Amino acid sequence: MHEQLKLENQLCFRLYAASRLVTQAYTPFLSKLGITYPQYLVLLVLWEKNEQPVNDLAKRLHLETNTVTPLLQRMEKEGLVSRRKGKEDGRQVLVSLTDQGRALEQEAAHIPHQVGSRMVCDKLTPGTVPELFATLDAIISTLEQ
């Protein structure tokens, strides 16, 4: 067997496993709020800046609009966001938080700290997080090109 084909030599597998396990760590907290992890990500973006075009949301989440649209439709049915056509460009759809979506921000404020504290280990400390962010951002940026 080729060494480069062993699972333990795959960066992609480590990233996949870490992503899956981090998402799993969020699940109990988010289920108490009645939202999924993808919905949480949309809310994070809208809590930073409310009323954004679908295209901007998708870009910020590194997703295609055809992936984000069904997610937003479900969130709208659940009363978390509203969607409306843009005034200047009728093809543009703007997404805004509803009162219910805004209220979840306060309820979710503790989640990053609680999940983050579960990830602290000898290699990942509050002091090493910025370096990890920079490394992951570089990987993301390189792969998007």
- Structural contact between residues 77 and 19, judged by C-beta atoms closer than 8 angstroms: no
Distance CA 103, CA 2 (A): 53
What pLDDT, on the 0 to 100 scale, is given for residue 87? 78
For 80, other C-beta atoms within 10 Å of its C-beta total 24
The kind and range of the H/E element at 57 are helix 54-60
What pLDDT, on the 0 to 100 scale, is given for residue 67? 95
- Class of residue 58 by CB neighbours under 10 A (exposed 0-12, middle 13-18, buried 19+): buried
Considering the domain boundaries, does residue 45 fall inside one?
A: yes
Considering the domain boundaries, does residue 97 fall inside one?
A: yes
Instruction: Check the CA dihedral 93-43-143-8 and report its sign.
Output: negative
Considering the domain boundaries, does residue 2 fall inside one?
A: no
Structurally, how many domains does the chain consist of?
Answer: 1
pLDDT in tens, 45-92: 999 999 999 999 999 999 999 999 999 999 999 999 999 987 777 789
Q: Which domain holds residue 61?
A: 10-144
Distance CA 34, CA 79 (A): 11
Considering the domain boundaries, does residue 133 fall inside one?
A: yes
What pLDDT, on the 0 to 100 scale, is given for residue 122? 87
- Percent residues over pLDDT 90 in the chain: 88
Check which CATH number belongs to the domain holding 94 and give it.
Answer: 1.10.10.10
Residue 130: pLDDT band with limits 50, 70, 90: very high
